[in-house]
Structure 1
Amino acid sequence: MDQKQITDLIQQMTLEEKVAQLLQLTADLHEGTQDQSQITGPMEEMGITGEMVRASGSVLGLSGASSIIDLQQEYMKNSRLGIPLLFMADVIHGFKTIFPIPLAIGCSWDLQLAEKSAEIAARESAAAGIHVTFSPMVDLVRDPRWGRVMETTGEDPYLNSLFARAFVRGYQGSNLSEDKERLAACVKHFAAYGAPEGGRDYNTVNMSERQLRETYLPAYKAALDEGCEMIMASFNTVDGIPASGNEKLMRGVLRDEWNFDGVLISDWASVREMVAHGAAEDDCEAAYRAIRAGVDIEMMTPCYVQHLPELIQSGRVSEALIDEAVLRILQLKNKLGLFEDPLRGADPARESEVLFCAQHREAAYDLAVKSSVLLKNNGVLPLDPEADIALIGPYAGQEDILGWWACVGVKEDAVQLGSAMQERLHGKLTIAEGCGIDTMTPDQLQKAVDAARKADVIVLALGEAADMSGEGGSRTDIKLPKAQLELVKEIRKLGKPVAAVLFNGRPLDLHGVLDEADAVLEAWFPGSEGGAAIADLLIGKANPSGRLAMSFPQSVGQVPVYYNTYNTGRPMDPSKTDERYVSKYLDSPNEPLLPFGFGLSYSDFTYGELSLTSHEMSAEQPLKVSVTVTNTGTRTGIETVQLYIRDITGEVVRPLRELKGFEQIKLEPGESRTVTFTVSEEMLRYYHSDLSYSSDPGRFHVFVGPNSRDTLQGSFELV
């Protein structure tokens, strides 16, 4: 169908048919419309009728090829103009084959594997009949109290932008119209959803426009530059205005400045939530503000279908705004080829073939290995496969390692750590729970102590429950539950070597674990093949290579804590810790417990001297920064060499350092390689006080190293 045919189709539509295209409802509501008597409960409370359901333009949350085929065929029988449904779902880190949570994927620093994970998720989802995924989530996060931190790739705008692009490429491919095994991607949540006050979900976001543009917007823009077809409005306010009704944000920045002509969808009920925010008096006013802002699809509230017709009739809203929204929706349906093939990709036979297949599970394993971060190791890891080992803790035999937003993944399908270790160890393995996630009985503890006493080495499998993070999972206490900290303390009394493995969805306050255990491996929620990946890392069959994409705080009182902070007028001198009138805590270091970019390996890497081709550069003449890295260990390993830059003096003060590049290199024992970065003038630009985007001449520091803290330093001048 060409553009003229789409325009002609819109001209044939009644106002009610147009507005219906703007409504998205869940699959269970559609499935309840065959019998009008089932329109009860929540549907009545929302003011949704069976007629609205039957006419709505898209469906949320239905999956399974047979179910989608049945609903689409039934819908098409009653579609006067032959306009098909769009099927959308939250395919966040896998469909049936579940990959590590996005925060873990960010810790892989592996863009190719991230792209591959999205490609596999798309392949499985498309076979099950889905057309659009509400992913990637690229919200920058600096506060681990927020539960949805597990959906992001971290605290850095540059790294988040690269992952945003990788996920979009993986989901959409290079030819969405022809490739029926791809999905349209929907980047979310626009904008700045990851910065709620107090880390409390859905809470107020308040920042300067300069900070918004410099730190929080780049990853959304990167996803759109990669061709992302949709964008989702966030729940929060932006400069005091809810995003779903924010004309400056949606019309001004998104549409006019960035020239985005794809579909804009609200988040769940966020249009109606403008009433609770205090930005709209009632549903009618909410509909008015949302359509004016350019929201094309309203998810799970009927403000549009109930009130847009009257707003048009009264003259408050032009029907041209409705036509504009419908045009974008139909263009997406056309790009997906739904007019020619409403069942696009839905195939029960193909679904049975590709879902959770061996090839996909192998990719999930690879990413689980690359996502895990070794935080500490005093010679305990890797384990000796011949040793007698006690595996103790709530995650010793736990299958619930998929994490929040596991789509149609089944936790019972996940590889358990205990069973995986049993397969790989030649010595004796004893498994004892020790405690639950947040409870402990004397009998549990005694069995764990008895098992530990007989072992050569103890592995503690600890962590959060999956529902302790994720949407609505904000917490003020981000330590491990007290029962688990007590277990660590009791096991430590035995004086045996102890390695801890952590399964969690956020950076934790690790006091009581990092200081007690001899080794700590951060596994996150590692997905379907997590147990196998972690077991191979523990025994040394795989070598840890993950690097933190978020800083770990000293305590919750320190957050937000992040590496790319500004200096103050009274910075603390680390050699004068007793000085009072400087910017510091009396009871804690300023620095995070573990910095951004940090991660250990079973290999040892040394860095030679930093080399700059010049100490002056210009817009026309970039400079190169080089360092030689050597694997001085006995194992082949992967090192992530990181480049940071600091602008010493700016019209607006600049961060102490900013990530500007990185390169992952694989080195054999004794092997050296020179890594070279090119520093261009474009990398030195920033938003000034008048929001102009440019660089300033002057002095800069350049840092290269294995993380944001432990770096070599050089200097240059931009002339």
Structure 2
Amino acid sequence: MHFSSRPVIRRSALTASCAALALGLYACGSADSLTPTATQPDFGYTTLNLITRDGLKFKDMNRNGQLEPYEDWRLSADARTRDLVSRLTLAEKAGLMMHGTAPVVNDTTGAGTGTAYDLAALKTQINERAISTYITRMSGDAGTMADQYNQIQTLAEQSRLAIPVSISSDPRNHFQYVLGASAGDSGFSKWPETLGFAAIGDASLTRKFGDIARQEYRAAGITVALSPQADLATEPRWARINGTFGEDADLTRAQVQAYIEGFQGGSNGIQTNSVIAVVKHWAGYGAQKSGFDSHNYYGRYATYPGNNFAYHLRPFEGAFAARAGSVMPTYSEPDGPVTIDGIALDQVGAAYDKPLLTGLLRGKYGFDGVIVSDWLIASDCDANCVNGVSSGTPSFVGLGMPWGMESATRLQRFVRAVEAGIDQFGGEDDPGFLIQAVNQGLLPESRLADSAYRVLLQKFRQGLFEHPYVDVSAASRTVGNADFQAQALDAQRRAMVLLQNNDKLLPMTACGKKVWLYDIDPAVARQYGYQVVDTPQAADVAILRVSTPYETLHPNYTFGAMQHEGSLAYVDGNADYEAIKQAAGAPKQIVSVYMDRPAILTNVRDKATAILANFGASDTALFDVLTGKGRPQGKLPFELPSSTAEVEAQLADVPHDTAHPLYPFGYGLTY
């Protein structure tokens, strides 16, 4: 492992096995808390002194020379957590409830994007504010990420109790990057979007993907995955469909379960080498009014005209079967009364909804993990956030999503969210409001202790207290290695959905064929033996890569400027549609449509010989499928509507309900 510019680091020279020991009981433990035999763990590297007891080594995390129960790896995670919680100050309990954004140097956006952490700022936050969980939006290579992560853990070992830091990330193994929904890939293996896994419908493949992503995440120092989305894409215009498994509850349930089992290493909950899965967004997020997203003030409402809220809970049953470590509530608030199993939800954002979090999630479903809020739910939404900027470019300054609590103070929002059931606050790095709430008698300190317990228990179960550092050289070898990339490429091919194949055009051998290309790398086509020409008229076949149409209806809002909203139909003037029309000059046309939402293809299928839907695929994957090296096996994870009018008439919370879909859910041809 390579470290640069850090203190002297001691390595524990320890053997892998030791004799069985008869252990005494700590006051906070029990006979059931103790491991009957003790095998010395390999600590790897540490800056901490080691304590020797009975021939075994332990980290002196609080540097007092005594072996405390929380330092004793022979005890159960529960016993160690309870001891550590008993040692926390009020400020430290509040700090554990912050899930901050890891600051980076030269950050001009406030979003935490960059290639190096601001270690001075992190030192202050870790040591003075006791924050030990952060999202990373770094985009450096895996080795750099791993080295930077190790430097953070060195800072953590300098804190009063040496609580290790947990690093979370939005998805990194897919194609589409939208700030706030996904992260730069940093060389991670490139798989189809989750819609592609739903199209393949093979839970074992999704589980395998999760296991590979788990290995890549842990190698780079990422221990928490802010995924998967269990949301249902029942509103076809919704801007967040790309991260879902489609609109069907049963298919999504199976995919969510497999995804989590891959990331967490099975269905037994958090364990050593798990990446904690944060399943989101509890609940009903996919039924957004007009498809607008609740990152935006204008899109804050979810709507249930079909009285179908219960349907949107079913995918989470897969998460609970896999024992997901964490749940993230949705930003959205219902636009009318919702009652489920006799529980009437509050008409506020989900993070403030005690019936939804405590009554339904903790009560009916028995969830005992960490509930982490989505980002900035306690922040103010200023005038630009409410109305959009009148001039200039929207920014993250003044952004907040306190839906249903807009007129409340920040303190009141923190109190209401904690009372509702929130354990951690996404995007927050100021624990002062929680400290103030306890000091003013608005919250009992014991409630903060409950959340601190849940957060720390997962760190112990992941083995972070024993082995927080990662091997930098191993990160470079693991992340995006050739085997992982090959499996990812195969998934890209399999996920494609063959919608149309007139005259059995596909598969199509090169045989010197002349091709006209649109949005495709000519070098890739030439590698497969095709001759690239300049016009459709000179070609034997035109091959195009296009995307589902969208509109930018709210360009003066931070997320509205980035998200795909509005119409799904190809219209004159749309660059992709103009290329499709231009391709009519060729005898045959192949159109591959990237679908982050369900495209309306009514006026495309008469202009194409073959149509393929993809959910994230490289040019190589596409040409493998075109030439028969790979075969499209996907089935549509959502129906494709036939018209805008039918999209507007469907019910936002009901699946498969456009009147005359052009292609139904589950459709897909084969070679």
Q: TM-score, normalised by structure 1?
A: 0.68
- Aligned twin of 1:348: 472
- Aligned twin of 1:314: 440
- Tell me: CA distance 1:269–1:477, structure 2 relative to 1, closer, same or farther (3 Å): same
Structure 2 regions of 5+ residues with no counterpart?
Answer: 1-74, 113-120, 139-144, 175-184, 339-346, 380-399, 554-558
CA drift at 1:125: 0.9
Aligned equivalents of 1:156 and 1:103: distance in 2? Answer: 11
- Aligned twin of 2:592: 501
Show the 5 A alignment for 1:280-319: 281-301=408-428, 305-319=431-445
Residue deviations 1:20-66, cap 9 Å, x none? 1111222226x69xxxxx999899xxxx9984464212011166110
Task: Confirm whether residue 97 of structure 1 aligns to residue 195 of structure 2.
Answer: no
Alignment equivalent of 1:127, drawn from 201, 213, 219: 219
SS of corresponding position for 1:286? helix
Structure 1 regions of 5+ residues with no counterpart?
Answer: 33-37, 398-417, 432-446, 569-588, 603-719
Alignment equivalent of 1:85, drawn from 165, 168, 186: 165
Aligned equivalents of 1:247 and 1:205: distance in 2? Answer: 18
Alignment equivalent of 1:423, drawn from 527, 530, 548: 527
- Aligned twin of 1:147: 239
- Aligned twin of 2:516: 391
Q: How many residues are treated as equivalent by the alignment?
A: 521
Aligned equivalents of 2:284 and 2:628: distance in 1? Answer: 40
Aligned equivalents of 2:608 and 2:196: distance in 1? Answer: 22
Task: Confirm whether residue 473 of structure 1 aligns to residue 548 of structure 2.
Answer: no
CA drift at 1:269: 0.7
Aligned equivalents of 2:539 and 2:627: distance in 1? Answer: 16
Alignment equivalent of 1:197, drawn from 286, 289, 292: 289
Task: Confirm whether residue 28 of structure 1 aligns to residue 103 of structure 2.
Answer: yes
8 Å Cα contact 2:269-2:324 kept in structure 1: no
8 Å Cα contact 2:545-2:593 kept in structure 1: yes
AA in 2 matched with 1:476: G
Show the 5 A alignment for 1:320-399: 320-343=446-469, 346-379=470-503, 380-393=505-518, 395-397=519-521
Alignment equivalent of 1:590, drawn from 659, 663, 666: 659
8 Å Cα contact 1:550-1:562 kept in structure 2: no
- Tell me: CA distance 1:224–1:41, structure 2 relative to 1, closer, same or farther (3 Å): closer
SS of corresponding position for 1:458? strand
More strand by share: 1
- Aligned twin of 1:551: 639
SS of corresponding position for 1:112? helix
AA in 2 matched with 1:369: R
- Tell me: CA distance 1:385–1:359, structure 2 relative to 1, closer, same or farther (3 Å): same
CA drift at 1:291: 0.3
CA drift at 1:468: 8.1
- Tell me: CA distance 1:23–1:224, structure 2 relative to 1, closer, same or farther (3 Å): same
Aligned equivalents of 1:284 and 1:176: distance in 2? Answer: 34
8 Å Cα contact 2:490-2:630 kept in structure 1: no
Residue deviations 1:597-645, cap 9 Å, x none? 001111xxxxxxxxxxxxxxxxxxxxxxxxxxxxxxxxxxxxxxxxxxx
CA drift at 1:524: 2.6
SS of corresponding position for 1:217? helix
Aligned equivalents of 1:293 and 1:191: distance in 2? Answer: 15
- Aligned twin of 1:17: 92
Larger CA deviation: 369-378 vs 2-11: 2-11
Alignment equivalent of 1:246, drawn from 323, 329, 353: 353
- Tell me: CA distance 1:468–1:148, structure 2 relative to 1, closer, same or farther (3 Å): farther
Identity between Structure 1 and Structure 2 (%): 26
SS of corresponding position for 2:576? helix
8 Å Cα contact 1:176-1:336 kept in structure 2: no
Alignment equivalent of 1:136, drawn from 195, 220, 228: 228
- Aligned twin of 2:668: 599
8 Å Cα contact 1:87-1:130 kept in structure 2: yes
AA in 2 matched with 1:329: V
Aligned equivalents of 1:358 and 1:518: distance in 2? Answer: 35
- Aligned twin of 1:533: 621
- Aligned twin of 1:701: none
8 Å Cα contact 1:244-1:270 kept in structure 2: yes
AA in 2 matched with 1:73: T
- Tell me: CA distance 1:467–1:17, structure 2 relative to 1, closer, same or farther (3 Å): farther
Alignment equivalent of 1:257, drawn from 356, 364, 376: 364
Aligned equivalents of 2:253 and 2:162: distance in 1? Answer: 39
Residue deviations 1:519-570, cap 9 Å, x none? 10112322xxx222211111122222110001111123322659996999xx
Aligned equivalents of 1:248 and 1:366: distance in 2? Answer: 44
AA in 1 matched with 2:363: D
CA drift at 1:505: 1.6
SS of corresponding position for 2:545? strand
Task: Confirm whether residue 510 of structure 1 aligns to residue 601 of structure 2.
Answer: yes
AA in 1 matched with 2:592: V
8 Å Cα contact 2:236-2:291 kept in structure 1: yes
CA RMSD of aligned residues (A): 3.0
Task: Confirm whether residue 484 of structure 1 aligns to residue 567 of structure 2.
Answer: no
Alignment equivalent of 2:152, drawn from 71, 96, 103: 71
- Aligned twin of 1:237: 333
CA drift at 1:233: 1.5
Aligned equivalents of 1:544 and 1:562: distance in 2? Answer: 31
- Aligned twin of 1:459: 543
8 Å Cα contact 1:251-1:293 kept in structure 2: yes
Residue deviations 1:197-245, cap 9 Å, x none? 00001020133896222x1011112112211111111111145221111
AA in 2 matched with 1:217: L
Answer 1 or 2: higher relative contact order, Cα 8 Å, separation at least 6. 2
Aligned equivalents of 2:436 and 2:279: distance in 1? Answer: 32
Show the 5 A alignment for 1:428-439: 428-430=530-532
